[in-house]
């Protein structure tokens, strides 16, 4: 798995590439989420457009990160899940719990509710 970290308007965006299956190949994602939790990152967006598949272990990594960041007062949201990944989120009903976006601009603005009210 590859990971690209960037920031946009105060939101840390992690672009993920490859399958999320747990184990050694997902350590880079675990470390990135750990870093966000330790740094008390208020806004983390995972771009899933290049993630073709995730299994239950991979889903566990995402959920664990979501919950850990939330406990620290941050938010974790998801961007552009590929069709198969979106299907897994729908099957597990997590698509109704997690915030999932198809548009990066809308996703970034969603973190700042005060700012999004004034944006036309």
Domain assignment of residue 113, yes or no: no
Instruction: List, as one string, the DSSP characters of 14-37.
Output: EEEES-B-SSGGGHHHHHHHHHHH
- The residues that bridge with 7 in the sheet, in sequence order, are 12
CB atoms within 10 A of CB 95: 16
pTM: 0.90
pLDDT digits (tens, 9 = 90+) for 54-85: 999 999 999 999 999 999 999 999 999 999 99
CATH code, domain carrying 83 = 3.30.750.24
Angle subtended at Cα 111 by Cα 2 and Cα 63, rounded to the nearest 5 degrees = 50
Based on the structure, what is the number of domains in the chain? 1
Nearest to 76 by CA among 53, 107, 38: 107
Mean pLDDT of 100-105: 97
pLDDT digits (tens, 9 = 90+) for 13-62: 999 999 999 888 899 999 999 999 999 999 999 999 999 999 999 999 99
Domain holding 27, by residue range, is 2-103
Domain assignment of residue 115, yes or no: no
């Amino acid at each position: 798995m590859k990971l690209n970290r960037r920031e946009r308007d105060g939101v840390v965006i992690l672009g993920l590439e490859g399958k999320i299956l747990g184990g050694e190949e997902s350590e880079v994602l675990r470390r990135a989420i750990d870093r966000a939790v330790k740094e008390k990152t208020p806004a983390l967006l995972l771009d899933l457009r290049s993630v073709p598949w995730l299994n239950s272990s991979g889903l566990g990594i995402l959920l664990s990160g979501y919950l850990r960041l939330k406990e620290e007062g941050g938010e974790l949201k998801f961007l552009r899940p590929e069709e198969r990944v979106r299907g897994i989120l729908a099957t597990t009903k997590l698509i109704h719990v997690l915030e999932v976006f198809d548009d990066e601009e809308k996703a970034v603005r969603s973190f700042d509710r005060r700012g999004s009210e004034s944006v036309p």
